[in-house]
Structure 1
Amino acid sequence: MTEANIDHRAIQHSTFPTWLGLVGGSWVGLIWGSLITAPVGIGLGVAAGTLLGGLWAVPLWGTVWGFIGLGRQRANAVREHGIALLKEDDPLALRVHALAARLGLRTRPWVGTMPHNNAYAIGANADNALVVIGQPLIDNLSEAEVDAIIGHELGHVVSNDMRRMGLARSFQNALVWYLGFSRTLQRWGRWILTWLSELYVLRLSRKREYWADAVGAALTSKEDMITALEKLHQLPDLSRFERQHARLMVRGQVGGTLLSTHPTLQERRSALQSETYMRRLPTIPMPELPAHSRQSEPPRGEDVAYARR
């Protein structure tokens, strides 16, 4: 799997199935909430009205504000997260762009650094993605290990994970917000649905980490990906900023429980060693290129995110 070119079209999952699942999940939550509310005080008519209103209000609110939030995500991160954007000819940016080209991304992502021992990717889609690498990782990891981390984040980009996670969070907020109009649901149903939706989002987060690890390993090697993860887990505890945005990070909240944002190091290492997810990545055969050509200019016709300042 080392030095493989991944068929990005086969893993660039549409967000439509995720959106449909979120709509269906919100409807199930609304129906359940109405059923437990009607017998205890508000009456069947009021419960039915609440349900009918929510069937369109929650999906609409979750979708509209989800995409608005995703559209603002990169600009907000640059303004609030202490990110230093790199010029497109910066050596690190060139490395990110070279790996992105091997994934078939036609728009080179923005690249930035931050002072934390972590990395993440954000953006509404691959055309306005931002890949952020912690400066301590650049200083202390080998080039191959940093490339594995970059590949992990690009795996999130090419798989549309950023949009799927953003919509999942937005729908969760919409459902909890809407059910908050009922005093009974605030007391019981809202609490239960909040936790159920949170567990779903966390499960989705853990699952996507395995796939992103597989992409990082395919672009470098599984040994480099494993070593990079091992070094990440030897670093100091997460900072307040990292805990606040743990779902975005390559290293998040780990405890081996349903409340973890990420799988444990052992779980991720085992998945890489056994190539559980790597074997399922569709690849395109490509002859080995000399090292200097990997940082050359992108193919003609490739779009450049920096040009759209």
Structure 2
Amino acid sequence: MFKRIALFLATNLAVLALVSIVMSVLGLNPATNAGLLVMAAVFGFGGSFLSLAISKWMAKRSTGAHVIDQPRNESEQWLVSTVRRQAEAAGIKMPEVAVYDAPEINAFATGPSRNNSLVAVSTGLLRAMERDEAEAVLAHEVSHVANGDMVTMALIQGVLNTFVIVLARVVGRVIDGYISGGRDGAPGLGYYAIVFVLDMVFGLFASMIAMWFSRHREFRADAGGASLAGRQKMIAALERLSQTYGQSTLPKQVAAFGISGGVGHGLKKLLMTHPPLVERIQALRDAPLEAARGRVMG
């Protein structure tokens, strides 16, 4: 936790330093733009932290997931006992366990913290996967929770949102001043049009950075799943996904936390939340188990 907070603070200081340098290069005084920085931080982090705070509620509502309070059958009993055992091994509080109705093989984990989380599996997974494969999928999701991936994603998104808001308006002000011949006064319609375009352009690059981290965390969660459930079980689960994975029906709010994210090419590949399954399988085969164990709580 302290390591994550230190990284968060260091990242924010780096962003503020970079923004100050950009302002200085463009001839703007950072001291006179403090209000912009505060506004950007409030809006940039506000949405990310709000989404994180209500992530469990939104996931249950959007997927119609049934939380298992008292197991109704042997399958639900197995799910709860497996997640409990894996959570204890990973050193986290027992997540809520849920099942949601969907035809594809899928699962996801979400929640505002390592000790306040939800692990959910689709009915398609329960029908199509062997127990060993399903155990590995659960281990993958528990590893996401243990790694604090939901919190880290929110922090990264907040930093990127802040950077996009500030940079778009700083650059927009410079371009508008150049076009208008440096006249003082309130910004005109041209400024708002420029900022609108820059928000989209910088937002696209910010999304690429966020999705790069999202793909990176999938490798770590696979390694954690291999440590908790066994390397061969994790490989078998990913191989089954590569053969039978259908179109995801997960809503956008939790799609990034599913077990797989489909395929993509060209620019679309840079915006994928998950790396190709073949790369994930090969990474597991190449990585020593000691390295995998080190990533469960990384």
TM above 0.5, yes or no, is yes
Secondary structure in 1 matching 2:244: coil
RMSD: 3.1
Counterpart CA distance in 1 for 2:252 and 2:45 is 26
Counterpart CA distance in 2 for 1:93 and 1:132 is 11
Kindly state the Cα deviation for residue 59 of structure 1 after the two structures are TM-superposed. 3.2
Corresponding residue for residue 69 of structure 1: 51
Q: Give TM-score, length-normalised by structure 1.
A: 0.74
Deviations 1:212-270 (A, max 9, x none): 00111111221111111121122354235356643211101433632221111121111
Instruction: Give the residue type in structure 1 aligned to 2:100.
Output: M
1:172 corresponds, among 145, 154, 160, to 160
2:35 corresponds, among 53, 58, 62, to 53
Kindly state the Cα deviation for residue 164 of structure 1 after the two structures are TM-superposed. 0.6
Higher relative contact order (CA closer than 8 Å, sequence separation 6+) = 1
Instruction: Give the residue type in structure 2 aligned to 1:214.
Output: A
Kindly state the Cα deviation for residue 15 of structure 1 after the two structures are TM-superposed. 2.6
Instruction: Give the residue type in structure 1 aligned to 2:147.
Output: S
Corresponding residue for residue 228 of structure 1: 237
2:145 corresponds, among 144, 152, 157, to 157
Counterpart contact for 2:221–2:295, Cα < 8 Å: no
Counterpart contact for 1:202–1:258, Cα < 8 Å: yes
Deviations 1:1-35 (A, max 9, x none): xxxxxxxxxxx784324423542464367457747
The alignment status of 1:197 with 2:197, answered yes or no, reads no
Corresponding residue for residue 99 of structure 1: 86
Counterpart contact for 1:179–1:186, Cα < 8 Å: no
Instruction: Give the residue type in structure 1 aligned to 2:258.
Output: M
Counterpart contact for 1:113–1:134, Cα < 8 Å: yes
2:127 corresponds, among 113, 116, 139, to 139
Instruction: Give the residue type in structure 2 aligned to 1:154.
Output: V
Instruction: Give the residue type in structure 1 aligned to 2:137.
Output: I
Please show how residues 97-136 of structure 1 align to structure 2 within 5 Å. 97-105=84-92, 107-116=93-102, 117=104, 118-136=106-124
Kindly state the Cα deviation for residue 206 of structure 1 after the two structures are TM-superposed. 0.6
Moved over 6 A (4+): none
Deviations 1:168-212 (A, max 9, x none): 223333444556665365255434421221111011001100110
Kindly state the Cα deviation for residue 93 of structure 1 after the two structures are TM-superposed. 1.4
Instruction: Give the residue type in structure 2 aligned to 1:194.
Output: G
Secondary structure in 1 matching 2:98: strand
Kindly state the Cα deviation for residue 134 of structure 1 after the two structures are TM-superposed. 1.1
Corresponding residue for residue 83 of structure 1: 65
Secondary structure in 1 matching 2:108: strand
Counterpart CA distance in 1 for 2:117 and 2:220 is 18
Residues 1:222 and 1:179: Cα distance change in structure 2 (over 3 Å): same
Structure with greater proportional helix content: 2
Instruction: Give the residue type in structure 1 aligned to 2:40.
Output: V
Counterpart contact for 1:217–1:223, Cα < 8 Å: yes
The alignment status of 1:266 with 2:274, answered yes or no, reads no
Deviations 1:82-101 (A, max 9, x none): 11111255411122111111
Residues 1:80 and 1:178: Cα distance change in structure 2 (over 3 Å): farther
Residues 1:254 and 1:135: Cα distance change in structure 2 (over 3 Å): same
Counterpart CA distance in 2 for 1:241 and 1:96 is 21
Q: Give TM-score, length-normalised by structure 2.
A: 0.76
Counterpart contact for 1:85–1:110, Cα < 8 Å: yes
Q: Gapped runs of 5+ residues in structure 2?
A: 173-190
Corresponding residue for residue 248 of structure 1: 257
Counterpart CA distance in 1 for 2:39 and 2:234 is 43
How many residue pairs align between the two structures?
265
Counterpart contact for 1:62–1:167, Cα < 8 Å: no
Secondary structure in 2 matching 1:129: strand
Mean Cα deviation higher: 193-202 or 231-240: 231-240
Q: Gapped runs of 5+ residues in structure 1?
A: 1-11, 39-43, 285-309
Counterpart CA distance in 1 for 2:251 and 2:61 is 16
Kindly state the Cα deviation for residue 140 of structure 1 after the two structures are TM-superposed. 1.3
Corresponding residue for residue 186 of structure 2: none
Deviations 1:138-171 (A, max 9, x none): 1211111111001000111011111011222233
Q: Percent identity between the aligned chains?
A: 26
